[in-house]
Amino acid sequence: MSLPHRIFHAATRSLGDRRWDLFIRGTGAVALVAIPVAIAFPHLVPLVWLLVLSLPANSPLSPILPTMFEPIIMEAAKYERAIWVTLVACAGYMYMEYLNWHAYGWLLDRQSLAGFRAHAWVRRGVRYFSGMPFWTVAVFAFTPLPFWAARILAILYGYPLGKFMAATIAGRFPRWFLYAWFGAALRVPALVLIAVMVGGSAGAIVPRLLKRQRLLQDPVVEGPQPASPATAAPSPTNAAGDSTVGAAGQAEAAPLLRRSGT
């Protein structure tokens, strides 16, 4: 194997948790592009740092950074027009959402989550989602509702990635534009915006520390899962530590995994 081939293989080989793997590689790719742009076009620096900071704000770190992205948008709008700030914010967010889609798809395909996929309340949520999938995603994207819930329902339902991304941008674009517009109009002091970011992170981190919980609990794996007759009894585990389920349980969960493109 030649040296260039070894370097390419090492750079593209998946390592560890797919969510963190995609996030780290994705951030590195954006940095490689953004740094030369900032050097060549210094007047674009506010948009460049907005793009770069949009990645951790919408990454697996987002549960402990719940109020990070909006203040950054408002601060950037002090230096650039609201429409350009909105477009860059959407570009960074949608790039991260594309990675999140594939990371969550990998997570939800794990055999250890077969019980989660088969729960009655999950099937009920997918059934409700199937009635208005586009507008459900758009409403979750526009409002403060937890967007990871809409992402999970879309993946389990088998909603096409292209339509999911279109619905996401339909909700996120007006939301980010409002923040950019208010940021340009009100020009909130940077210290106030920093206080909002720090306060939001403290509100998410401190209760978990007091309860001795993990800081980055996964909403799928760690979230409450009501017991059902099919999952009340302990399931045997394989050598890798994943729960195994019978053929009936797999057949029950199969309709929820009609995905395309992943």
Average pLDDT, the chain: 79
Average of per-residue pLDDT across 203-212? 91
- How far is Cα 235 from Cα 227, in angstroms, rounded to an integer? 13
Residue 79 has pLDDT above 80, yes or no: yes
Maximum mean pLDDT: which of 10-24, 180-194, 229-243: 180-194
The pLDDT of residue 42 is: 84
In a domain, 153, yes or no: no
3-state secondary structure (DSSP) of residue 237: strand
pTM (predicted TM-score): 0.74
- How far is Cα 98 from Cα 92, in angstroms, rounded to an integer? 10
In a domain, 126, yes or no: no
Query: Tens of pLDDT along 112-134?
Result: 778 888 888 889 999 999 999 99
- How far is Cα 236 from Cα 174, in angstroms, rounded to an integer? 48
Poorest-pLDDT segment among 25-39, 45-59, 60-74, 233-247: 233-247
Are the C-beta atoms of 242 and 112 separated by less than 8 Å?
A: yes
The pLDDT of residue 28 is: 74
Residue 81 has pLDDT above 80, yes or no: yes
Containing structural domain, residue 24: 17-119+180-219
- How far is Cα 188 from Cα 178, in angstroms, rounded to an integer? 14
Residue 203 has pLDDT above 70, yes or no: yes
Tally the domains of the chain: 1
In a domain, 235, yes or no: no
In a domain, 47, yes or no: yes
In a domain, 225, yes or no: no
